[in-house]
Structure 1
Amino acid sequence: MIKVMLIDDEVLVRVGLKSLINWDEYGYQIIAEASNGKEGLKLIKEKQPEIVIVDIKMPLKDGITLIKEVKDLNLNTEFIVLSSFDDFELVKKAMKLGAVDYLLKLELEEKELVNALNSAVEKAKENKSDLEGNKKNKSKLEEVKKKTLHKILAGIISDQNQIKKLFKNLKINLKEEKILCLTIKIKDKDVLKKFSQGDINLYEDSIINIVEEIVGDFYNSTVFMNNWGEIVAFLNLENDLETEKEKISRLNLRLHKMIKNYFSLSVTTAASSLKNNYLQLSEAFVECSECLNYSFRCVEGDAIYYQNLPQKTNLQTSEYIKKFVIEFDESLEYREIEKAVMLLKKIIAKIKQNYLSRNNAFNLYFKIADSLEKNLEQEIIGQFFESNNLYQNIDSITNNRDLISWLQVLTENLKQYIDKEKDNYLILKAKKYLKHNFNQEISLEHTAKEINVSAGYLSYLFKEKSGISFTEYLNQLRISKAKELLRNKGLKIYEIAEQTGYNNPYYFSRVFKKITGFSPTEYRKKQ
């Protein structure tokens, strides 16, 4: 059934509309009524009707204003307007705003109403298809853009050519010359907490749109909102920074004024020094972060320039954190979860002893998140946290205490994962050992000793978890390597046998043929 809503301040008109046709028979259902535009807008947001039949003239909020506000919300709602003979100018306005049809109150007939409803349905279908396609594509592109820029700022993506390719695919037209980073921080964002998440998202999208429009009027730029709730703009200046400062000041004042007027929010703007290649984007963002530490000294409407800071601090991620990230990533890659837990405990202790700068905390979080996404399945991440999109979770981390809490949750979840997946974990450890030592004399007993289990239990686990025996797995691993080595025609068969853990070349040939169906010599000829 198509959902229809009636909005008219005259009860008799609403009653007349309801009794004019058999709504169910035509496939329509009246889901709500309102006597004025203000009440109507609230119900439209709540009920999401496909069609609204609305009077042009009403108290509190007229039909024209209502149509405009609903269209601004991008809801897939079509309007049929009710009018009197003397409302023609208002009808024209309504039609320009996208109303499908109009009905004269004093000449309401069944056929006209049904035709108007059917026209609205057709238009709704067309608009819904276009709207969903555009929204989906734009949302997906913006999400990829945001995630990509986050990884660049965190230093995860640090290859110049890769960044160029990504920017081209994402239609980011930032040039590698005179790049300035502006970070715009909303001071009183707590005001938004009283709104629903949907309204907050709408606020943020609207603010980004305004910033994009204003910055775009001044410079070639790209704009996005980071997970700290800050708006980041990278722009290409035309001259050196000193020459451009007056222009940047005009841009900044316009930003402050528009955000204040439209959203009643105050903001602080930070400006980096100039950069000349994409690899310096991260450095530019860090400089803006340092500037924001001095925002309490800033006069309303002024930008804080990095070059004007009273002192420069070490902006590079500490060597300790760099080392931690490398070791943590390797521990997850090789499923050494116990080592990962130990590393997390150490980094938590380190943060408790030494205050972590905002930028180091930012980099640490994103590099851990990247490592988790790269090395663990999404279902596992989903079990660890409320959302398996780790890049959204950072919204809740505003200080060192929050970061420590997040790391502690991660540590506890990894410990539980070890207990739950202990058998799989043992098999992974065994397979890792075999992968690194298959060219040595190796046995079930020796491998079991390496991972601290009995040979009998390891034999059982291999068959149970892998579907093949320990010996079969080891032979498959060795023969897989042998096939690679056979491509090197300079190696003798006995040399390949030795390099893959077989002391007896005849036994090697027998195993090779059993697994591949060919002797080593036959296999080499086929290549």
Structure 2
Amino acid sequence: MVKVMLIDDEVLVRVGLKSLINWEENGYQIIAEASNGQEGLNLIRERKPEIVIVDIKMPLKDGITLIQEVREMNLATKFIVLSSFDDFKLVKKAMKLGAVDYLLKLELDEKELLKSLENAAESITSGKQNMDYQPRLNSLAEIKKKSLQKIIAAKIADEKQIKKIFEELKINLIEDKILCLTIKIDEKEVLEKFSQGDIYLYENSIIEIVDEIVSDFFNAVSFMNNWGEIVVFLNLDKDLVTEKEKIGNLNLRLHKMVKNYFSLSITIAISSQKNKFLQLSEAFIECSECLDYSFRCGEGKAIHYQNLDKINKLGTTDFISNFAVQFDECLEYKEIKRAVLLLEKVITKIKENFISRNDAIHLYFKITGSLEKNLTLEVIEQLCGSDNLYQNIDSITNNNDLINWMHNLSEKLKVYMDKKQENYLILAAKKYLKNNYSEDLSLERVAQEINISSGYLSYLFTEKSGISFIEYLNQLRISEARELLKDKKLKIYEIADQT
């Protein structure tokens, strides 16, 4: 168990923290709590907790002074500071002193608390001193990132509060002609090559390049929202129509520089123009919609939100649900021909209309789910090349990938359908021979009975039975004669007549 201590002068905050998560289930144990900095310092000296969650503003001794004095004691205690929106200057000081994270009291939830505890716990297991340890959250840039993330998530919906945060963080964005750019790195798998520390450096390198390029064109602020997604807010000098060429040049330069420096391709989403800080969240959402559209147009492009109105959008929710029900029914009752027709209908729809990345994945799982539910593993392997239906999901990165996958599945279903039909025909032929082997049978007569050509029937016998029609008929008659010989009442000539 990782030993944790809580220090806050508000008893309700301490109670709230204790009840927010199941501490022991998550590997943590609260060993002490204090209501002021001096009491907290004494308990830290006595109990030596590994993680301390401490309020910045407290009576007798504030959180900053507490952290400084613990540092002087050479203890490896990890600090998570509690703050309010108006405490940014103090948060900066705490981070400089080596606090591994900070939590906003008004935004505190289970997920945020666990994430901060995990960051602190990781710094303990790394074996490094807190002042030397530099996790992603241990930087002033991370304060800016977390603040901007809350703004784009509309968790901060007060204009004065946003302005104050920008002032504290020295963000020079002004409330006029604002544009959001979301830059998505297309090759996210590059992440697999790096350690956690390398990822941190890699992200910062990309951000520095983006900052440098964008600042040559506009007043802007940028941050890495998630790995592979950089968000930029910029002020246009003039309106968007007038600045169109300038935006185009910025796009070209971003694509070129990221490719040259990091060998990565990017897709850029561009929002409509906004004039209020409270619209930053709306601008970011517009960019997200643009990136959804990148599934259709392919990666490595620049997509303007204002152009989305020109797209034919598929009413995907009902369309996919209706398709899924019908497709599942077809496979359940082995109506393969109808299933193929349904797939081809969907392919046509996707070619003609916009389908988002999320809807494409939804459709993929509906199809694979029906296959898994209604077909045997052997058949699935024939159709998909493996009994693992979900191995192809990562290869579907755009509209064409989805169409090609569905088309390939459709073609394989046709082959499967043909084989099923062939099996049915050969069984029908054998049944007819079994019931009529004593008659004067020919290939042509049997073919006529089951409505296929004599040439095709001859092929089926050789392909499915490994012997010719005549050989099969002769073997059948010999087999039946042997059975009749067991009947002592029958004469040889009678058996000959019957076979």
Structures share a fold, TM > 0.5? Answer: no
**TM-score, scaled relative to structure 1:** 0.33
**TM-score, scaled relative to structure 2:** 0.35
